[in-house]
Amino acid sequence: MIGKIWMVGLLGCGMAMGQSAARPAAAQSSASAKAQTAAAKAPVVAGATKPMEFEVVSIRPSAPGSPWGGVQIMPDGYRAWGIGLWVSVQNAYIPTEIYSSDRIQGMQPWMTQDKYDILAKVAPADVAEWQRQSHTRQKVMMQAMLQTMLAERCKLVVHREMKDASVLYLELGKGGPKFKESKVDEPPRPSRFPGGGATDMEGGSMHFYQAPMTLLASMLTNRNLDGPEIQDRTGLTGRYDFAVEWGAWTGGMAAEEDSSDPGPTLNSAVTALGLKLVPAKGQVETLVIEHIEKPSEN
């Protein structure tokens, strides 16, 4: 799946990001120092024989008036074009099956307002190894390399924290699940998700194969647009095959009682699987930007 364009969910991620308060000069200096220290030692991915980093990186402002672009894993590296730097920060630190504007705090306005073209390539001697990796393994490598790139070129310093938020728990409905576990004798399907599982759109349905419930919860969260995060509380720990009516529903459960909407809703989609959504107060992991600067000149 090398070279496949990532659908980074621009329509699903609200572009209004919170601006962090100005930090004192001493804190800025400390953050820059920490970023330089982080940049001096590239992250090492489990199983790798050397630090993972791009050999050549070009970050340039997009041409004025350029349309919104996208992100791509290439046969020899990473490319982002016509898009805000926040997308590359998200790809570097947040699981790639989840796209939510609420996952990043401390965004600077220029991170969404200014578009950049990024071209990052691995060393020629490493191209063969890069191409041999599975898509999932390649994403893990890429995340470590993006983290190094952002620390070096943008002096990025981040940390993670949990925050209280409204969520939807995905739970078992009355009568239990209306789908079965995947057959144990079936060979594993190629997966682009860190937790495994595969998906495929057929008509108006999203088909899941050998999928954990966590993948369903993540995909529902993406489809839920600006609605709350959906978290798996089914207690189902196996791998399953099933289909979800995807149709035209988006943005939570507001259309549930709208008779003018003939398509499936978020509630009806999960109810058909023998599951239900329960509003709750929970916690979500958030990436907090402590310090970031506009990309340094090439």
CB atoms near residue 267 (< 10 Å): 16
pLDDT value of residue 262:
44
Buried residues in 185-195 as b, exposed as e (16+ CB within 10 A): eeeebebbbbe
* pLDDT of res. 24: 35
Residue with tokens 């709750």: 280
Residue 274: count of CB within 10 angstroms of its CB: 16
> How far is CA 127 from each of CA 11, 88, 281, rounded to the nearest angstrom?
33, 21, 46
* Mean model confidence pLDDT for the chain: 77
Which positions ≥6 away from 27 have C-beta within 8 Å? 291
More confident residue, 179 or 17: 179
- The answer to whether 220 and 230 have CB atoms below 8 angstroms apart is yes
Q: Is the pLDDT of residue 259 over 60?
A: no
Mean pLDDT of 40-50: 46
Least confidently predicted of 66-75, 119-128, 176-185: 66-75
Q: Are 246 and 204 in contact (CB under 8 A)?
A: yes
For the residues 269-293, what does the mean pLDDT come to?
A: 93
Confidence grade of residue 177 (pLDDT, cut at 50, 70, 90):
very high
User: How far is 288 from 226, CA to CA, in rounded Å?
Assistant: 19
CA–CA dist 190, 284 (Å, integer): 28
Q: How many CA atoms lie within 13 A of 193 on its CB side?
A: 22
Q: Are 139 and 93 in contact (CB under 8 A)?
A: no
> 45 falls in which pLDDT band (50, 70, 90)?
very low
Cβ-Cβ contacts under 8 Å for 295 (sequence gap 6 or more): 59, 85, 116, 153, 154
Tokens, residue 189? 């399907």
Identity of the residue numbered 44: V
Question: Is residue 293 scored above 90 in pLDDT?
Answer: yes
Q: CA dihedral defined by 14, 16, 21, 22, rounded to 10 degrees?
A: 110
Instruction: Give the tens place of pLDDT for each residue, 190-229.
Output: 777 777 888 988 888 899 999 999 999 988 887 776 678 8
pLDDT tier at 59, thresholds 50, 70, 90: very high
Question: What one-character DSSP code corresponds to residue 35?
Answer: H
Percent of the chain with pLDDT over 90: 42
Top-confidence residue, 232 or 50: 232
- pLDDT at 140 (0 to 100): 81
Number of C-beta neighbours around residue 102 at 10 A: 16
Residue 99 banded pLDDT, cuts 50, 70, 90? low
